Amino acid sequence: MKMLQFAVLFALLFSSSSHAADFCVAKLKGAGSPAGYACRMPSKVTVDDFVFTGLGVAGNTTNIISAAVTPAFVQQFPGVNGLGLSMARLDLAPAGVIPMHTHPGASEILFVVQGKITAGFISSSANTVYVKTLKKGDVMVFPRGLLHFQINAAGIQAIAVVSFSDPDPGLQITDFAFFANDLSSELLEKSTFLDDAQVKKLKKVLGGTG
């Protein structure tokens, strides 16, 4: 069959290198680059590299925020490397809250799978608040880099699936950035106008020093 030979030949032209137009499953251990991780050899990639099963179980919400974020970012799900998206699961117990945070490198879109969630974001220069209580099946989008939060709005467990416009969106929770490291209280208070007592109280809760 001549056509068969053509197909086989064509495939051979392209199959022998570690970069392909189609995908670039991450080698997490290798050296990354500004565009993401290095690619695994396509010949060693299987369907399981494109499937992630970690979002099927609820995150553990027995913590102070009564909530859990389970990421399927490139670090957990190497198949999304270079594909311009990633995912996560949010679990919020009745009093649960995903505290104020930003994703430095991505927009987010949220779908409520179960329960009710009050979500909001704040625009930058005008400081306008966009807040809404979402019910099952509702979708909300949070523009890249802006402060936003999600709070359980009903008496039952809430679940949401969120997607991002980047395989590696980052997650900067304001409280952790302020109170969970060794940033000196003096610099923190000067740059946030928070009172010393407030700073020390939250540093204690979150393990901050300085």
Task: Specify binding-site residues for oxalate.
Answer: 103, 108
Cβ proximity to a second copy, 38 vs 154, nearer residue: 38
Q: Work out how close the CB of 93 gets to a second copy at its nearest, in angstroms, rounded to a whole number.
A: 12
d(CA 14, CA 7): 11
Residues 19/45, Cβ–Cβ less than 8 Å? no
Q: How far is the CB of 86 from a second copy (least distance, A)?
A: 7
From the list 94, 154, 157, 176, which residue makes contact with a second copy (rule: CB under 8 A)? Answer: 176
Binding-site size for a second copy (CB under 8 A) equals: 144
Among 82, 154, 157, 185, binds a second copy (CB under 8 A): 82
Produce one character per residue of 6-20: b if its CB has 16 or more CB atoms within 10 Å, e if not: eeeeeeeeeeeeeee
Closer residue to a second copy in complex, CB, 11/155: 11
Interaction with a second copy in 21-50: which residues (CB under 8 A)? Answer: 21-24, 27-39, 42, 46-48, 50
CB of 157: closest distance to a second copy in angstroms? 15
Structure-block tokens of residue 161: 């699936």
Distance between CA 176 and CA 203 in Å, rounded? 9
Task: For a second copy, give the closer residue by CB, 155 or 193.
Answer: 193
Asked if 154 touches a second copy (CB under 8 A), the answer is: no
3-class secondary structure, 40? coil
Q: Which two tokens stand for residue 152?
A: 């359980």
In one letter, which amino acid is 203?
Answer: K
Instruction: Report the C-alpha gap between 139 and 141 in whole angstroms.
Output: 7
**Pick 87 or 158: Cβ nearer a second copy:** 87
Query: Is the CB of 156 or the CB of 204 nearer to a second copy?
Result: 204
Measured from the CB of residue 196, what is the shortest distance to a second copy in angstroms?
Answer: 11
Instruction: Give the shortest CB-158-to-a second copy separation in angstroms.
Output: 14
Contacts to a second copy from residues 89-148, by CB under 8 A: 97-100, 102-109, 111, 113, 118, 120-132, 134-147
179's tokens:
């109170």
Residue with token string 């416009």: 165
Which whole-number Å values give the CA distances from 188 to 16, 182, 194, 195, 207, in the listed order?
53, 10, 8, 10, 15
